[in-house]
Structures are given as C-alpha cells and as structure tokens.
Amino acid sequence: MSLTYFSELLPVLAERAKLAAISRLGFANVPLRRYLAEVFDQPYGERGAFLADPAFEAVFGWQTVEPRMGDLAGSVLSERLVQAMDEVPGDLREDYRFARDRQPYLHQLAAWRVLAQNPPQSLVAASGTGSGKTECFMVPILDRLVRQQAELHGPLIGVRALFLYPLNALINSQRERLRAWTQSFGSNLRFCLYNGNTPESLPARKTRDHPNEVLDRETLRTSPPPILVTNATMLEYMLVRTADKPILDHSQGKLEWVVLDEAHTYVGSQAAEAALLIRRVLFAFGVASEQVRFVATSATIGDPEGEAGQNLKRFLADVAGVGLDRVHLVTGRRQVPDLVGTFVGGGASLPELNTIDVHQERSLARYDALVRHTTARRLRDFFVVKSAANKPPVARLSEVSRLLFPDQDRPTRGQQREILHWLDLLSGTQSDEGTPFLPLRAHLFHQTISGLWACADRACSKKAGTVLDDHAWPYGQVYFDPRKHCDCGSPAYEVVTCGDCGTVHLLAGETKGKLVHYQPQAALDEFELEMEPAEAVEEADEEEAKGSQSKVLIVNRPLDKVESWDIERQSRRIVEHAADTVRLSMAEDEGNGLFCPVCRGHDSYKRPLFQFSRLGAPFLLGSILPTLLEYSPDGDKPADHPYRGRRLLTFNDSRQGTARMAAKLQQDSERNRVRG
C-alpha cells in the first residue's frame, strides 16, 4: 500500500468526475459552470459532491482454530475430501488448494459442525468479504457427498445439493473451485452450472477433459449430478418444463441441501417469491423441509448478536419453512494482532512520519514511531474497539473527522485530505514481519446526476452571495433534486441545454392554464435506466399534467419571438400581473417543434434539440474505471499488455444496464488504444 494511495485516489476521482461532467453537460453559461465547479469541489459527502462520505473497513485477519485440516480428517471431515482439497492438480492448485496443514477459520469450523448434526440443521453464514463464507457450506456438502459415494461404490445420480445464486457471474465463479475439489473423484462426484448459456448438447471430445462436470443439458437430464448450481429463473423453468422432468424424476427423495447465496438481496416481494419457490422445489423433489439443510450467506450485517442477526435467522426460517430453533448463525471474528512496543504519547508530525523509510512498506522504524504516537494509536483503537465488540470495524470519513477535529461540525476538504494522509500512513506501514499497523479497505460511493432544477425568478434572493448572482445568469438558485418551488417561494423548473449553441434554458409544460413540470413521454437519453425517477415532482404534477402538454421554454432574456407571462408563485397559474406574481420570458412551441430563441435551432422528434442535465453510471464509469485501474498494482502480465495487466471486475444488477455498459466500456477502451 502506497503512503499516498487514498489521499491521491479520492481527489483524482472527484476532480475527473467534475471536469468530465461540466464538459459533457456543455453549458455555455459561465456563472453556471463556475457554480457547478464550486459545488462539485465540496468536501466528500456534502451536497453536490460526486463522492459520498467514504467508508473505511479494518481488514484484520479472521480468527482461526488450533486444529489443522489434517487433524480434522477422519472425524469432522472425510479423509478422502481433505486429501482431495490438499492435492489440487494443475493450474487450479495455486488459487484453490486447501492444504492439510492449514488452520480453518473459527466460523468455518463452527459451520461444519452445525451442518453435520442430525436431525438436519440450517445455517446463516454472515461474515465479511473474503472471510471464506463459501467454504462454510461447500466443505460439509462435499464431505457428505463423498461419504455417500463411498457407501454406494459408484457415481451419485440425482440432485442432492441445490445452489441458488442471484447472478450468472456468481454461478460461474464457482466452476473452478468445484473443479478443483471434485477432480480427484472423476465422474463419481459431479456438478453442473445450469443457466441460460448451458448448451443443449456437446460432442464427447469437449466433455472428456472434465468428467466431474456436466456441461450440457442432455447429460443433465439423462444423469443429473448431485450438485446443481443455478438461479431462480432457471429453477422456475426446470419445475414446469417437460424437457427437464427427468431431472426431478432421478432426484426424487434425494435433495438434502438448499443454498441461498447473497441472502440480503432477497427483500420484500422477492423474499416472498423465494419462499414460494422453495416450497415448490421441495414438493417437486419429493422431500419435506425437515429433511433438508438450508444455508443462507450474507456479507451485509450489523450486530450479529442483536437485531440484525435475529432478522437473518428469521428470514431463513420463513423462506425455508422450518422452526427458528433449527436455524443457527455463524459470523466471522477478526483477529487483531497486538502491537509490539511501548506507547509513549505525543510524537512526530504527520509530514515527519511520512519521511521515515518513505519508499518501503516494511519499516520497523516507522512502525515503532506509530506504536508510540498518540494520534496513530487513537485511530487504530477506533477500529479495534468495534472489532472487539463483534461489530463491523467500519467507519465513515466523517466519523474519523470528528475524532481528529472534534470542534469542527463539517470537515473542510483540506481536513479530509489530512485524514486520508493519516489513513494512508497507517495502512501503508508494516512491521518487519509484514503485519500492517492498520489494514484498511475503502468503500467508495459515487453519485450520478439525475438532473438540475433552477428557480425561474431572475431576482431570486437565495442566489445572493453566490457566483450565480451575475447578470449573465437569468434564473435563480440551482438544485440537484426535483422540486416545484425554490426556497425563495418562486416556481422551479428543470434545466435544459440547447444542443446547438449550449444556451441554458428552463423547460416547463403548460396545461390547463398552469406552468408545471414537463412530463416526457419517451426515454430521455441513454442514461434513463440508471436514473432515479423524480417521483416527488412527477406524482405532484400527475393530475395537473393529464391530457396534452405544450412545451414552454423559460428564457428570461429580451429576444425575438419571446413573450412575457406572469405566474402566481404558489399555484404556478398563468395570471394577470399582481404583487405576488413573477414575470417570466418564454418561448412556445410554434407547431413545428420548440425552438431556441438564441440560435433559432428547432426541436424535433427525430433530433431532440434540448438536452436534460442527466449523467448516469455508463458515462461516469468512463472516468471512474480507468482511474481505479491506474491506481491498481501491476498484474502478472507483461508490461505491453493493456493497463500493464491490471484487471477490474464490475457487477450490475440490470441485464440491459450490463449490456449497454459493457459495450460503452469496450468502445472507450478501443478509442483509448487507438489514441495511444
């Protein structure tokens, strides 16, 4: 870890997002550009800043147990399974070998013992990312299958373990692990990853190299393997499709395991659907819930001993249809190493600490200086106390700020930068043995822009003292959330830009004598699926907007073909001039599309002239992902590979969003390659 990692990465992410957004929005109005630049430069977590309040997680190692895998062989685990996990062949050995001399984590062994009990018990495995949750259920499932196969003296046929994953990417991620741990059993212990990409049939030459994996649907139906990894959609098809009936016929009375990965994604109606699906599965496989061990995994949990843990147990009990007394919760506990050295107090300044062995991660001198330092110890103890209480050792940047600057309600950007330098120093310093002083993982949350709204009143009092208080800006205060009125009481409307000249206008819809928010009838732009709908405004204007709406452009400039209307501030009705009205200059649709009074460009269905101020994930990822890759360590590929072999994995819970994002990233990478 570099001594300037977080303190460089976050400002660069924010700065690039700011420049990309202002450039992409294309505003020709100088005061508005200056205002947006100021807002985007706000401290992380403040209104308008692209980066929300970042969270930092202390990633100390997980507590292990004294017995090693070899010690558990023949008792808790089958000797054959321990040997198979130890003797992983070929290219899979480096990543998936579970050595005989390895000490499993405390929560892993606890899970294995729970799932070995009779009558069958169910389990919620809730622990942090990288804590070995998959092994919590995969090892006992394989152990039972290995024992059953030894008794049968032949291949296991029929589904005994059903793994349900929410995404195909998560399904595919289990292939190499299952191949590694079942390879030594050959066709006696098989698995199948069943999703929409599974082919109907394959020639024998393509299946010969992997006798432990069922690769096509024809084989799956003829001889179902004991392990089936799939998703809810494919499982629905399997229950009703005649072609898949042989899978159920071969599996009658054999199902013993149902695994729900990423249980925290099942909320509301989705959880109810999962519960109904599980009941149909049990009926179709000819088993009762009391005969099945249910497992749910989750990396998202608060206090496991409190309400959060009980909610997870109750969730699994409800979904599985079993009693709460049969559901057990295991959670990982961090192993916090003791600091070696004597606490003195006080200490050198931050710049002085950063000069000690500046180019070395392992530095006994810098490590000792931190052990003796008051601020360094306070920061480390802040995370350690949470971990000792079995709470997630996570703290927001704002929490750390209150620790270092207790008299400051809101930290400045400079104070945030100082905190990030401290976190860099603590996480980037290791003892001679390689033990980090405070290992940290950052969780960064990047905002999108779902639109801009501005007060229609040029004399708005809320813009006083800001860069918007300029004769070149013909409107009032600007907002990032949809609203009907400005804080000054005048009506507010959405900001649009002329695609030809870049002039900024406000767009409204005139209906029944009122000037309301314009309700678009079709997709606005390529980012619409990534936007949060402006529900508050849309619902409020729904009744008013029923029927036909005519587009109105609020210009507030003395131009040709522009008329002046008086609008009642509260009701937004078009009325005669009065003391409580606001006068607006507007351009109406002349019948052949709305026009820009500045450049005379015309709006049309085929070529929309006016652009909304909306930037979604596809656009912003164009600067986020290259920046993250830039700050990643080099991969194991030669230097002439793209990004020096650095790799980044992304997930998206929308299929359409994934496809569009992938295409955009591919286009961007090809453009950058050609430019380079």
Nearest to 164 by CA among 286, 81, 273, 325: 273
Is the predicted pLDDT of residue 304 greater than 70, yes or no? no
Phi then psi dihedrals of residue 510, to 5 deg: -100, 125
The pLDDT-based confidence of 302 (bands split at 50, 70, 90) is: low
How many C-beta neighbours within 10 Å does residue 101 have? Answer: 9
The pLDDT-based confidence of 668 (bands split at 50, 70, 90) is: confident
pLDDT, tens digit, 9 for 90 and up, residues 241-273: 999 999 999 999 999 999 998 777 777 777 888
Is the distance from CB of 155 to CB of 194 less than 8 angstroms? no
Is the predicted pLDDT of residue 454 greater than 90, yes or no? yes
**Token pair in block for residue 184:** 């030594």
CATH number of 69-331: 3.40.50.300
Is the distance from CB of 444 to CB of 54 less than 8 angstroms? yes
Range from 159-173, 400-414, 481-495, 630-644 carrying the lowest mean pLDDT: 630-644
Q: Report the pLDDT averaged over residues 155-161.
A: 96
**Token pair in block for residue 660:** 């569009």
The pLDDT-based confidence of 521 (bands split at 50, 70, 90) is: low
What dihedral do alpha carbons 404, 410, 411, 413 form, nearest 10°? 170
Q: In what order do the strands lie in the sheet with 327-331?
A: 213-214, 191-194, 227-230, 161-164, 257-260, 293-298, 122-126, 327-331
Residue 390 has a pLDDT of 62
Residue 268: left (phi > 0), alpha (psi -120 to 50), or beta? left
Residue 25 has a pLDDT of 94
pLDDT, tens digit, 9 for 90 and up, residues 7-45: 999 999 999 999 999 999 999 999 999 999 999 999 999
Of residues 622 and 482, more confidence is placed in: 482
Residue 529 has a pLDDT of 38
Nearest to 228 by CA among 268, 284, 147, 304: 284
pLDDT, tens digit, 9 for 90 and up, residues 499-509: 999 999 999 99
How many C-beta neighbours within 10 Å does residue 610 have? Answer: 21
Sequence-ordered strand ranges (E) for 533-649: 550-554, 563-568, 574-575, 581-588, 610-612
Measured distance CA(423)–CA(57) in Å, rounded: 11
Is the predicted pLDDT of residue 606 greater than 60, yes or no? yes
Nearest to 298 by CA among 271, 327, 344, 261: 261
Percent of the chain with pLDDT over 70: 93
Is the predicted pLDDT of residue 568 greater than 60, yes or no? yes
Measured distance CA(265)–CA(268) in Å, rounded: 10
Measured between alpha carbons, how far is residue 354 from residues 21, 410, 419 in Å?
34, 26, 13
Percent of the chain with pLDDT over 90: 59
Is the predicted pLDDT of residue 532 greater than 70, yes or no? no
How many C-beta neighbours within 10 Å does residue 547 have? Answer: 7
Measured distance CA(507)–CA(519) in Å, rounded: 10
Residue 368 has a pLDDT of 92
The pLDDT-based confidence of 538 (bands split at 50, 70, 90) is: very low
The pLDDT-based confidence of 616 (bands split at 50, 70, 90) is: confident
Only one residue has tokens 């940047």, namely 397
Burial class of residue 327 in the structure, from the number of CB atoms within 10 Å of its CB (0-12 exposed, 13-18 middle, 19+ buried): buried
pLDDT, tens digit, 9 for 90 and up, residues 181-192: 999 999 999 999
Is the predicted pLDDT of residue 539 greater than 70, yes or no? no
The pLDDT-based confidence of 525 (bands split at 50, 70, 90) is: very low
Only one residue has tokens 């809320």, namely 462
The reply to whether omega before 119 is within 30° of 0 (cis) is yes
Is the predicted pLDDT of residue 524 greater than 50, yes or no? no
**Helix H or strand E segment including 331:** strand 327-331
Residue 659 has a pLDDT of 77
> How many residues in total does the chain contain?
676
Is the predicted pLDDT of residue 540 greater than 50, yes or no? no
What 81-87 contacts at long range (C-beta under 8 Å, 24+ apart), as own/partner pairs, is 81/139, 81/142, 81/143, 81/146, 81/181, 83/184, 84/146, 84/181, 84/182, 84/183, 84/184, 84/185, 85/139, 85/180, 85/181, 87/184
Q: Which amino acid is at 264?
A: H
Nearest to 73 by CA among 100, 96, 99, 98: 100
How many C-beta neighbours within 10 Å does residue 268 have? Answer: 7
* Contacts of 171 by beta carbon, 8 Å cutoff, 6+ apart: 163, 165, 193, 195, 229, 230, 231
* Contacts of 132 by beta carbon, 8 Å cutoff, 6+ apart: 62, 104, 105, 107, 108, 332
Measured distance CA(326)–CA(86) in Å, rounded: 32
Alpha-helix residue ranges (DSSP H) falling in 91-223? 93-96, 106-115, 133-152, 168-172, 175-182, 204-207, 217-222
The pLDDT-based confidence of 2 (bands split at 50, 70, 90) is: low
Residue 547 has a pLDDT of 52
Q: CA angle, corner 326, sides to 320 and 330, nearest 5?
A: 95
Got the DSSP string for 336-387?
A: -PPP-S--------HHHHTTTTTT-SB-HHHHHHHHT-HHHHHHHHHHHHHH
Q: Report the pLDDT averaged over residues 636-644.
A: 72
Nearest to 213 by CA among 244, 187, 181, 247: 187
Is the distance from CB of 57 to CB of 441 less than 8 angstroms? yes
**Token pair in block for residue 235:** 């499982």
